Structure 1
Amino acid sequence: MDNPKTIWEFALYGDIPAVQDFLKTNGDVNSVDDHGNSLLHAAVLNKKIDRLKLVKFLVENKADVNLVNRNRRTPICEAALEGHIEVVKYLFDNNADITIADSESVTPLFAAVSGNHHRIVDLLAKNGADVNIADVQGITPIHEAALKGNLEIVKILLDNNCDVNVKNRVGDGPIHNAAFKGHIAVVEHLADDNIHRSNDNGLTPLHLAAQNGHLDVVRFLVAKNVKIDVLSQDLVSPVFLAAQNGHFEVVKFLVERGASVDTADDQGDTPVIAAASEEHFGIVKYLVEKNADVNSVNKRGLTTLAHVVARNNTSMAKFLIEKGALVNDIVIEASILNKNVELVKLIFDNSKPNVGHLLVAARSGCLDIVKHLLSFGFDANARNENGLSPLHVASTSGCLPLVEFLIKNGADVNSATPEGVTALHGASTNGHLDVVKALVTNGADVNVPDLNRVTPLYMAAGVKEDSSAVVKYLVEKKARLDSVDTRYGYTPLMAALMTGNVQSAKVLIESGADVKVLDLGGNNLLHFAIAIREFDLVKVLVQRGVDGLGANQSGQTPLWIAEQTKQDEVVNFIKEQHANGCCCVLS
């Protein structure tokens, strides 16, 4: 603020002449700015050494020393926070109220603690300031001092009878704060009080020190005979937190002092699982070498090996397997999905693949892994219990190289599941044009229906995304335009309109699809087009003879639906076409 513009800015810079001129013309020494700050608030924040001079001038001119700003903060509270002890002394001597708390329940003493200003803390404490005042979070001055590691202030507060047993809103005492931040000197000073106490989450000072890697604090607390395997409400131990957060030296120290390496939390996670989940593999190796159970399983069914494999660490996976880690389906699938051929080979050197694993590999699209699994003797047409083959899965995923490889190795392009679904259905549904072409080129039947008489063209048309390229290709390959499914009586064109696939609908109409067909509910194509508010399609359909007054089985006509949904443009168009003698007959 190089160029002060308001009187409060002049006061902030200690410009006494400017303030004097203001008072001469205005007369109100307690004028406030938009934030409720008075001239005295600004003056106490003056960065110049002679700030006291302006403060005295204002007080002598009847400035209210207890005026609060919008945050309910007084001038003495601001001065205490900034560490301006000479201002604090002067204001106190001139009747500043040191009990007034701001909107967050912070008093001048609390502010001085926050600012690490021990002389002000001492001054205020000796003059009756409440040393146990709590802010809105239940934090007291000694909590704050412990959190900041200010031993001198901690001693001052204790000398003035502060409550060392006080808890904040989560049950932390001052020693919890000091341990959390690693302030060893404060921890040592407070150690005779509540060293074993847990907070509302069951966390002790040892938990917090271990969690944050404060080895010196951990050493001190253990030397004080705290319980080394103490558990929180979530059944978390100190060594668990150290492992989870990657603090190797703390883990090592606690284990050497007898900490259990296998105690699980309420989710079934052990220290070694916790370390693996956070990729602290040095700790994983250490704990396993200290006989941690490599096959412990958490409530999600995950082992240490599962976490390691999910994080694509081949060398650590090899280490765990050598130490007896078992390979299960979760581990196998994780290795495949990572598309790490070396890791997959390691896993299958220690397990037997099945068709399900082959399908996972096909879904991942990793050709090399599929090749490796086929080397175990699987047929390219192997199926799982649902009748899915690798070609089904690869086609649905859109992996052209894998599709071509499977076809080359004998995969049946027309193989269907018990529901009649083929690879072409899957590729068409997902808009994989290149895969669709590869399948059709190699003999896939473009008109093959599933058990509900749904064809690949129907599937391509009935998706929300623009699949018009696939639709156009299938039509060119003589896919039947007007095949009808058995569930709703829909044609591919109806399926396109039902999902709002306008471009595919246009392709089908232009290709000669029957526009006068009705579904099982008696709906014609205008019912569908109006439902998705596609006026351009409405015009095309009306002009091609679709009846705007044709009622469905519920008695609803397209015109009635347009009126009910306030599509005035559609309503007017249908009526105009009738007036011109087109398709509709109004009663």
Structure 2
Amino acid sequence: RRQKVRMEVEQAHPYFWGDVGEYETKTFTVGQLLIRSGASVNIVAVDSITPLHEACLRGQAQCVRLLLDAGAQVSRALIHGSTPLCEACSAGSLECVQLLLDHGAMADPALTSRTASPLHEACMGGNSDCVRLLIATGASLEAYDLYYGTPLHVACANKHTDCVKELLNAGAKVNAARLHDTPLHHAAKTMQVEMVETLVEFGANVYARDQHNKRPVEYTTPGSPSATCLTFYESNPMSLQQLSRLALRTELGTRALKVIGQLNIPKLIINYLCY
């Protein structure tokens, strides 16, 4: 889907094969001239693509600011439901994401059967800075996409451990399921040892079975680091210390980091509770 949109944009507006900064400067200058000449900033092209969608997809912050200041519709959706914020998150442009949010972009637009949330898009691209900003803005950690599941599913399936950590620390549900498929199943399939360890530390169920009645370890290669790791977790119970941390984090949910940081306890313990 993302590739299709990119191809359509580039076919409609041939890319300048030179320095990216120079291209953006030229685009910005042309945009200024067109706007001054009365061109509509909300004109639509293929699949309802607007200039703002294209600027966000390319991560052109100068152009995004120009368009927004000229009255571009900040949450205009494409035919398949993708908004400029989705495009900016996909491109990994933190500056564009911030500009859109400052102009009222919805962090949680209505999802359709053909689109994902901005947080899904950021996790898909491994853009952890964008993930962090969206979470701070109040984006739903459990936004559900019919094809991908939650943002945590997406981050795990695409091997983005940094995004996984951002989501879990913010209180994302570690055992959220899509057709019984958990984030840990995805981590096992992609053989990401650090990700597996992180998920289990946050309470992932190593015994969970998916729609094929398989546990996460059954998706690993026997003898691999991931298999060894999961086999160890299946065979050894968590320590009382770890169970206590999990109980506290579960009770506090999405408030955990804020509340724990205010506790009058040693910094070493706070660091442990906050991972």
Whether TM exceeds 0.5 here: the answer is yes
Find the residue that maps to 2:25 and give its secondary structure: coil
Does the CA-based 8 Å contact 2:119-2:151 persist in structure 1? yes
Gaps in structure 1 of 5+ consecutive residues: 1-34, 38-44, 261-587
Paired position in structure 1 for 2:193? 215
**Number of aligned positions between the proteins:** 216
Paired position in structure 2 for 1:131? 107
Larger Rg: 1
CA distance in 2, matches of 1:126, 1:62: 25
- The alpha-carbon distance between structure 1 residues 247 and 127, as it changes in their structure 2 partners (threshold 3 A), is farther
User: Is 1:157 aligned with 2:134?
Assistant: yes
TM-score if structure 2 supplies the norm length? Answer: 0.73
Paired position in structure 2 for 1:107? 83
Structure with the higher helix share, 1 or 2: 2
4+ residue runs over 4 A deviation? none
Paired position in structure 2 for 1:52? 28
CA-CA distance at 1:49 after TM superposition? 2.6
CA distance in 1, matches of 2:123, 2:57: 17
User: Is 1:86 aligned with 2:65?
Assistant: no
User: Is 1:197 aligned with 2:176?
Assistant: yes
- The alpha-carbon distance between structure 1 residues 176 and 223, as it changes in their structure 2 partners (threshold 3 A), is same
Does the CA-based 8 Å contact 1:116-1:153 persist in structure 2? yes
CA-CA distance at 1:256 after TM superposition? 2.0
Higher mean Cα deviation, 62-71 or 132-141? 132-141
Does the CA-based 8 Å contact 1:150-1:186 persist in structure 2? yes
CA RMSD of the aligned region, Å?
Answer: 2.2
CA-CA distance at 1:171 after TM superposition? 6.0
Does the CA-based 8 Å contact 1:142-1:154 persist in structure 2? yes
CA distance in 1, matches of 2:187, 2:87: 26
Paired position in structure 2 for 1:496? none
Does the CA-based 8 Å contact 2:57-2:88 persist in structure 1? yes
Does the CA-based 8 Å contact 1:239-1:259 persist in structure 2? no
1:155 partner amino acid: R
CA distance in 2, matches of 1:54, 1:208: 45
Paired position in structure 2 for 1:71? 47
Find the residue that maps to 2:213 and give its secondary structure: coil
CA distance in 2, matches of 1:103, 1:89: 24
1:399-418 equivalence runs, <5 A: none
CA distance in 1, matches of 2:204, 2:47: 43
1:104 partner amino acid: H
Paired position in structure 2 for 1:224? 202
Paired position in structure 2 for 1:237? 215
Report percent identity of matched pairs.
25
Question: What is the aligned counterpart of 1:143 among 116, 120, 142?
Answer: 120
Q: For each residue in 1:275-295, what CA deviation from the matched residue of structure 2 results, as whole angstroms up to 9, or x when unmatched?
A: xxxxxxxxxxxxxxxxxxxxx
CA-CA distance at 1:127 after TM superposition? 1.3
- The alpha-carbon distance between structure 1 residues 144 and 162, as it changes in their structure 2 partners (threshold 3 A), is same
CA distance in 1, matches of 2:22, 2:81: 24
Q: For each residue in 1:203-260, what CA deviation from the matched residue of structure 2 results, as whole angstroms up to 9, or x when unmatched?
A: 11111100110000101112223221111122111011113xx671111111122269
